Chains A and B, each alone.
Chain A
């Protein structure tokens, strides 16, 4: 394992063994914060906290030396973008003073405030921030296990799976059938399956126009629905078909070898099958005891501290954030609020009630963008919509507004990745 001296010595004043002894917070010369997970939530939180509090010892534990971003990965699947444009490293965080350790947290002892990584090494913390993202429920959809992803990619964590789905689409002959299976709520990136359907439809329309795309949905409604459906009717008539839950869209079983998706009424035989499976918080959340029976993590809406484990905060897709969707924008916004709250708590101050924003763009074609925005605040212990704010792009917007929103989508990606990864 690679580590840095500071991560284990807590500012250099203590000894390595002291860090292993879970010394109470007040006895520390400097506050120690450990962040698990280096995505939009975790990387933002670690960087924000370290920049605001140079004296804090902030450690980020992330398994991968390179992060592959999910936003815009649908454009990679459609052949409009390279995977290299999705990849980011952690040098800027290191330069900001964060100790970045590429390792996996095995267990957490919330009582002694210790995180165990490989080789039985332990890191002590005063506050722990969990940003583990999602994991898939391999037991939720019969026939869809890890092995099945080689035939029927989920592509819901960006990387090799994204490239696999791209290759399958490229290899498919014109006239083939693509099937996407979309899960019930909640899941990462609520408009994501429909942006993906749009951009795959764009690829088929321009390159394989005799093909067909079917979206099988375990829901009757979805994010930005009326905007997506209006655009589909305009851009992809006869090519893209959405089958709602009520119309038998829920996939109950799959067979990877034959690329078949089974619903109550019909078995769909696909040439390319993209199964977006049911999800839960990243596995470490369960190990840490911060996930409830839903598989997600209840939090305090002011501090993002777990309702189940004091001293542990949960941000990003893993958290139950009320009205806030599981988006990269929301993860980044929550991370900044959480960083400020953690700093305040470690200074024995009470963080004030926050407000948070989400803005989420989707592309239905390369020059056709739509958005949803929201403003959120704590109400009765939950993050709720600020009434009268937020909402969708107008249904009757002119093509130049759609083009403008497509350009803002790209601008957003550049901006948020620069803030998160430097």
Chain B
């Protein structure tokens, strides 16, 4: 591997590390825009049992697909269609990746 390749690879690695969420460490890459609001309705505590589905620890593709279906109206909902319309594809992707890292 050339030194240029090594630098590129290192940069890629650093970016992916930054993209991950670390809690408790020195790096404070917090939740992506909008993500921290979700837990107002979708419980993170296992002691809470409600009809509102849990969204932590799911595959990111599942969250992305659901948000897209809410946006188009293909999936019926009460509030989620109104909320999903406020987020771009990239924002939804980032939120989904972040939620998937949480349990």
Contact = CB atoms under 8 A, between A and B. Distances in A.
Contacts of B34: 354-357, 375
B41 A54 contact: no
B37 A336 contact: yes
Interface in B73-103: 78-79, 82-87, 91
A373 B33 contact: no
Given A354-B33, A377-B33, A371 B79 contact: yes
Chain B contact-residue range equals: 20 to 34
Secondary structure of the B side of the interface? loop
B11 to A, nearest CB: 19
B15 to A, nearest CB: 15
A375 B43 contact: no
Contacts of B36: 48, 333, 336-337, 340
A412 B40 CA distance: 7
A407 B82 CA distance: 18
A53 B23 CA distance: 7
A391 interface: yes
Interface string A365-390: 00000010111010000000010111
Interface of A: 48, 51-55, 329, 332-333, 336-337, 340, 343-344, 347, 349, 351-357, 359, 371, 373-375, 377, 386, 388-391, 393, 401, 404-405, 407-408, 410-412, 414-416, 418-419, 422
The 7 residue pairs across chains A and B that have the minimum distance between CB atoms: A375-B86, A389-B86, A411-B50, A340-B30, A355-B34, A357-B37, A336-B36
Given A353-B33, A416-B41, 18 more contacts: A55-B24, A333-B36, A340-B36, A351-B30, A355-B87, A355-B91, A357-B86, A373-B82, A377-B33, A386-B86, A390-B82, A390-B86, A408-B79, A410-B50, A411-B41, A412-B41, A414-B43, A419-B39
